[in-house]
Amino acid sequence: MPEFLEEWAWFRGLSSELRSLTLETAIERTAEPGEYIARAGEPSAYWYGLLQGILQMYIVGADGSETTLYCMPEGEWGGEGSLLKREPRKYDLRTLTSSQLCLIPARTFETLRRSSIEFNHFLCDNLNQRLGVVVGILEASRLLSPDMRVAKALLMLADSKGGDAQALLVPQHELALICGLSRQRVNIAISLLKSSGLVRSEPRKGLLFVDVPLLRLFVSAHDRGTHMPGQNGA
């Protein structure tokens, strides 16, 4: 965990006293797939840094149906919105894969926010980046084809710091929740992406291998209204 914190400019920019406070109060936690990290209606107690894994932020409707709001890949921080508003959580937070987290207590978070310009700049950048993702999800749900919604969901799940070919261990029913589609329609979209050479799968291991640069180019070409060579588009 100390090595993870040292990767961040906001942490390196803290005074020695604030760095010590952060290290002394931070909690390292490991979690199995499907384990709850926080529940809707509970007080917002931590700021979450994800060393490894994928976290799913989702809500459950009155009829028991679920929908995913956002998936946080490893190497990101989340939970600052509820802490800043000082309100109970509006959504559940659980792991999609085996995960390792760094939990910063609310009191330490507030001390950093009141004391560090670098920390506040990071919070602004983080919130702005997540807002862009949420706007993209909203656009996808209203305007994009199901195939493109699946493609964008896979990019959201991929580690931005990871390699070109990444293995995603995400159950297909979870991917359907993320996209707001049926499992059958997600199956069709995955088949299309496979035929285009953008993903491949190992069903026995439940892995989906994503060619991140090609998938990003595929999505970008769609957004520009053009097509990649050899592609029919989504």
pLDDT tens track for 140-169:
666 668 888 888 888 877 765 556 777 777
Q: What is the mean pLDDT of residues 15-27?
A: 96
More confident position, 77 or 181: 77
Quick one: pLDDT at residue 54? 86
43 within 8 A of 84, measured Cβ to Cβ:
no
Quick one: pLDDT at residue 219? 79
Model confidence over 87-121: pLDDT tens digits? 888 888 999 888 999 999 999 999 999 999 999 99
Instruction: Flag whether pLDDT at 190 surpasses 90.
Output: no
Give the position of tokens 């997540």: 130
Number of other CB atoms surrounding residue 190 within 10 Å? 21
More confident position, 224 or 158: 158
Quick one: pLDDT at residue 226? 52
Residue-averaged pLDDT of the chain: 83
Q: What is the mean pLDDT of residues 209-228?
A: 75
pTM of the model: 0.67
- Name the residue among 161, 158, 5 with its Cα closest to residue 96: 158
Quick one: pLDDT at residue 229? 46
What are the structure tokens assigned to 13, written together? 């920019």
201 within 8 A of 217, measured Cβ to Cβ:
no
Instruction: Flag whether pLDDT at 20 surpasses 60.
Output: yes
